[in-house]
Structure 1
Amino acid sequence: MALDRITLQNFRNHRATELAGTCQFNLLVGENGAGKTNVLEALSLLAPGRGLRRAALDEMAGQAGGGGFAIGASLKEQGHESARLGTYVESERAGRRLVRINGAEASAASLGEWFAIGWLTPAQDRLFADSAGARRRHVDRMALALDPQHASRVSRFEAALRERNRLLERGGDSTWLDAIEAQVTEHGERVAFGRSQLVAALSDELSALPDGPFAKPILTYRPGGPTEFEALRAEFRLQRGRDRAAGRALTGPQRDELEVIMAGSGQSAAACSTGEQKAMLIAMTLAHAVLAAEGRPGVLLLDEVAAHLDPVRRSALFDRLRQGRAQVWLTGTEEGPFAEIVDEAAVWRVAAGTVERL
């Protein structure tokens, strides 16, 4: 099963773009700024969440649509369409993203029931040297591909935590704090569980990957506090005075951390070379793609990934992608780095927001 008959209307620099006749490998080539990544971003919005750029909706709309845009795609199985998915923003309701599945209104979370999507972009190259918050968001995005409800749990937890902070600042009474902390704890326990399960599954998949040119990362989930309901609730109650003074909660899932070291050397990923970090990111992305494709179609978006790999690593990457079940979308400024897969790929030339099949 794969995405096909993809349409973009007034999305960023794409006025009206259609891509049909897709394959397992799909290659978008063109100059920088032509609109290749915009196509990948559109595909990433056919899943729950904010897409690969985490951009505001008004940033995505092209100039011609008055704040609106539309993205659609068919799920193709054995050559036949099995579902039509779409997401759009109406110009008169520009602050809200809407979803349709087979013509009927649906929730964004329901998109995740049809296929799982993952991506690797140049912006993620600094993940290991970035903040703990950036790594939490990365874990949450990977968890969302496995469990479409994970994003709503994170949103509920964060909203309840903000309300607790406001009550502490205003000197709210203990009854109100007890009630809101029950919500914080309920959602926080579920968020922490989802993250820990994702990291455990990803670690198992990484250990099962064959040895090769990609450095293997070792992942450890470090919770930011107790993970069981009663213990976490008691901790929030105990630390009210400290948290009031700090202006924020200093214990809980909002303090979770993903620790990554390189197998063999035991060196922290943040201290590894740029090439080693990229190799570990690719290994994580490939392992996640295997997990995400279990029971559902998988789609993997790789933005400008091949140009930064030597020929040996490029060949190894293509081999692993070929063996996987995910449909793969790649971008590059030229076909040269993709010579090994061009003959088996659908290739499009992207220029100034237009797409031409080669």
Structure 2
Amino acid sequence: MTARPPLWCATRTTPRRSTSSCRCGSDTTHLTRLTLTDFRSYPALRFTPAARICVFAGPNGAGKTNLLEAASLLVPGRGLRGAKFSELARRGPDASATWAVAAQLSGPGGLFEIGTGAVEGAPERRVFMLDGAKPRSQSEIAERLAAVWLTPQMDRLFTDTASGRRKFLDRLVIALEPHHAREIAAFESAAAQRNRLLAENPDPLWLDGLEDSCARHAVAATATRAALIAQLNATLASGAAAPFPLVRLGLNCAIAEKLRAAPAVEVEDALRAAYKSARAQDTAQRGASLGPQKADLLITDAATARPAALSSTGQQKSMLIGIVLGHAALIAATRGAAPLLLLDEPLVHLDAAHRAALFAALTTLNLAAWITGTDIEPFAGLQAACYRIHEGVIAPL
């Protein structure tokens, strides 16, 4: 196989007016071209969508989710599957050890390009390019493009562990506040170092410094989580996701409780003291007993105050879609540009009325959306460009 330079590192092409048949509002950001190289099941792909809403149908294993995963990797993070980067390269005797995803997008400011791909020799690293140049930080990418997704695995959100709900919440936060990822990472790094030192009978002054870092990042991350929940609750209450069930989100977190009653600097001081007094306990249990890693996202039916975990499977799916649509509306209102919406098998567990409601919402919210399904027939009521995926080939229907 002839070696090829990663497509994400190519020099940016000269901007020109898109000739796509998309007719999007000025506040819509949509993909005008997606190029894949040795990504999952795709040896090579160059796809130009014909509309802002695209439906991809095909049997299981055809590559539908792989396509959406590639699009989700245009923003920082591990994408909609949360996979290791080393798992993304195509497998086979003629496959490369690296992978690449590149896209041209159209937003309120015109055309721009984002590329990302694996670093040769470092399979768990990836790099970004923005308009042909390496960005100063991944936050530059997040500020240009937001992506929101729904996958079948997220159907377990309501009965999942608290860890799963925290990860879901943090993805919602990062789409609006990219710096939140740094706060979470900084807390986790400081907490891990503290845990190791506690087992080694370290210098107390060294522990003081790590606990100071833990307290600062814990309070900052918690405050950002709480702010997002308040904003999203207000957006949902305004009817942004109607007629899907109105849900109310909450944060079960000791730090959040303290922030509701005291300024952040006072909460930081209290948390530093709490970490210091808990050293013996945390040494015994080999982990911090305090921090944002103990929080849980609460989801309830706003009309009945019933926990979402007690609702039926169909109701839970409707609630989840409502949250995702409300979040997309919040991003559009806050950032001035709607996010890219990636919906993997969203019609599962939805009745005819809620399928129609989803199609209407996609039109009303003026979202650019890529949607998958096993069959094309259930999407008959949606105005979209429809494609069939088979053995890595995308063909219009």
TM-score normalised by length of structure 2: 0.86
| Alignment correspondent of 1:184 | 214
| Alignment correspondent of 2:367 | 326
Residue 92 of structure 1 deviates from its aligned partner by 2.8
Superposition pairs for residues 269-284 of structure 1, below 5 Å? 269-284=308-323
| Alignment correspondent of 1:40 | 68
Give the gaps of 5 or more residues in structure 1.
none
Structure 1 residue aligned with 2:48, among 7, 10, 20?
Answer: 20
> Per-residue CA shift, 1:68-106, capped at 9, x if unaligned?
01101111248x962111001133332210110111012
| Alignment correspondent of 1:94 | 123
What CA RMSD, in Å, does the superposition of the two structures yield over aligned residues?
A: 1.7
Range that drifts further, 123-132 or 108-117: 108-117
- For 1:102, the aligned partner's letter is D
Distance in 2, matches of 1:11 and 1:333, equals: 21
Superposition pairs for residues 231-250 of structure 1, below 5 Å? 231-250=270-289
Distance in 1, matches of 2:302 and 2:45, equals: 44
2:242–2:322 Cα contact (<8 Å) kept: no
2:38–2:96 Cα contact (<8 Å) kept: no
- For 2:96, the aligned partner's letter is G
Give the gaps of 5 or more residues in structure 2.
1-28, 260-266
Residues 1:308 and 2:336 aligned together:
no
- The 3 A distance-change label for structure 1 pair 293 and 65 is farther
Report how many residues are paired.
Answer: 355
> Per-residue CA shift, 1:307-340, capped at 9, x if unaligned?
4311110111111111113211100111111101
SS at match of 1:348: strand
- The 3 A distance-change label for structure 1 pair 325 and 231 is farther
> Per-residue CA shift, 1:181-223, capped at 9, x if unaligned?
1111121111111111111111111111168552221111122
Residues 1:196 and 2:237 aligned together:
no
Residue 271 of structure 1 deviates from its aligned partner by 1.6
Superposition pairs for residues 143-162 of structure 1, below 5 Å? 143-162=173-192
- For 1:266, the aligned partner's letter is A
Range that drifts further, 33-42 or 1-10: 1-10
Residue 22 of structure 1 deviates from its aligned partner by 3.9
| Alignment correspondent of 2:24 | none
Residue 242 of structure 1 deviates from its aligned partner by 1.4
- For 1:271, the aligned partner's letter is L
SS at match of 1:281: helix
SS at match of 2:121: helix
Distance in 1, matches of 2:184 and 2:225, equals: 10
- For 1:133, the aligned partner's letter is S
Residue 59 of structure 1 deviates from its aligned partner by 0.8
| Alignment correspondent of 2:299 | 260
Identity score, percent? 38
Superposition pairs for residues 112-131 of structure 1, below 5 Å? 112-131=142-161
Residue 354 of structure 1 deviates from its aligned partner by 1.9
1:72–1:85 Cα contact (<8 Å) kept: yes
- The 3 A distance-change label for structure 1 pair 297 and 280 is closer
- For 2:306, the aligned partner's letter is Q
| Alignment correspondent of 1:62 | 90
Residue 143 of structure 1 deviates from its aligned partner by 0.4
Residues 1:49 and 2:90 aligned together:
no
Distance in 1, matches of 2:353 and 2:239, equals: 17
SS at match of 1:52: coil
| Alignment correspondent of 2:25 | none
Please identify runs of 4+ aligned residues in structure 1 that moved more than 3 A: 210-213, 224-227
| Alignment correspondent of 1:108 | 138
Residue 266 of structure 1 deviates from its aligned partner by 1.9
| Alignment correspondent of 1:31 | 59
